[in-house]
């Protein structure tokens, strides 16, 4: 990983290897993060990165945030919208929430990301990953929705909203 990660562009045959390393919990966090960052930097392995980041939390949060905040995703809003809806992907929702609120997002991409996020607020099966993504991405623009769902009767939604509220600093 160390040898190949510095190559630009990342060799196509290295993509699967890097994705596998990123998913191996027995590997050191620094190696997993290096593999993920190389995949993110390559820009060609979005599917592999999303799969790998879906299984990360805590120690790889910084890599998750770097990926979510990558402005190049504005070119693939439809991909992330489909992924968010079909697979209930926190990563995809994080990207969409960020694009919907980032100042540098092109107008069309911002509108498409906003529509996808707004649709998800009304779909019960998408609320948990959306709320968790809003929290992980620290998207304060959705504070009202987070506080509203913190009072929800469904325990899983309430728990996800509590997590988001904590991440956004709304519990103070």
- pLDDT confidence band for 2 (50 / 70 / 90): low
Per-residue pLDDT of 158-169, as tens digits, reads: 999 999 999 999
Question: Across residues 138-145, what is the average pLDDT?
Answer: 97
Return the number of other C-beta atoms located less than 10 Å from residue 119's C-beta: 13
**DSSP secondary structure letters along 27-83:** S-HHHHHHHHHHHHHHSS-HHHHHHHHTT--GGGHHHHHHHHT-GGGGGGHHHHHHH
- pLDDT confidence band for 142 (50 / 70 / 90): very high
pTM of the model: 0.87
**DSSP secondary structure letters along 95-129:** HHHHHHH-TTS-HHHHHHHHHHHHHHHT-GGGHHH
Q: Residues 25, 33: contact at Cβ < 8 Å?
A: no
Question: Across residues 137-144, what is the average pLDDT?
Answer: 96
Report pLDDT for 22. Answer: 82
CA 38, chain centre distance (Å) = 17
Residue with tokens 């991405």: 137
| Backbone torsions φ then ψ of 20, nearest 5 degrees | -65, -45
Per-residue pLDDT of 37-89, as tens digits, reads: 888 887 766 777 787 788 777 778 888 898 999 999 999 999 999 999 998 99
Structure tokens at 103: 């100042």
Which position has the higher pLDDT, 7 or 101? 101
Q: Residues 137, 97: contact at Cβ < 8 Å?
A: yes
Report pLDDT for 141. Answer: 97
**Which residues, at least 6 apart from 134, have a Cβ–Cβ distance to it below 8 Å?**
93, 94, 97, 142, 145, 146, 164, 168
Per-residue pLDDT of 80-132, as tens digits, reads: 999 999 989 999 999 999 999 999 999 999 999 999 999 999 999 999 999 99
């Amino acid at each position: 990983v160390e040898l190949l990660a510095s190559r630009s562009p990342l060799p196509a045959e290295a993509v699967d290897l890097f994705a596998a390393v990123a998913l191996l919990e027995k590997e050191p966090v620094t190696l997993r993060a290096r593999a993920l960052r190389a995949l993110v930097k390559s820009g060609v392995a979005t599917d592999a990165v999303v799969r790998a980041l879906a299984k990360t939390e805590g120690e790889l949060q910084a890599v998750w945030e770097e990926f979510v905040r990558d402005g190049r995703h504005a070119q693939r809003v439809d991909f992330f919208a489909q992924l968010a809806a079909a697979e209930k992907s926190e990563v995809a929702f994080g990207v969409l929430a960020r694009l919907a609120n980032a100042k540098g997002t092109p107008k069309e991409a911002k509108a498409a990301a906003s529509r996808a996020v707004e649709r998800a607020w009304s779909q019960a099966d998408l609320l948990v990953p959306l709320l968790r993504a809003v929290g992980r991405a620290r998207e304060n623009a959705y504070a009202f929705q987070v506080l509203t769902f913190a009072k929800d009767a469904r325990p899983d939604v309430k728990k996800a909203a509590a997590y988001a509220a904590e991440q956004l600093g709304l519990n103070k």
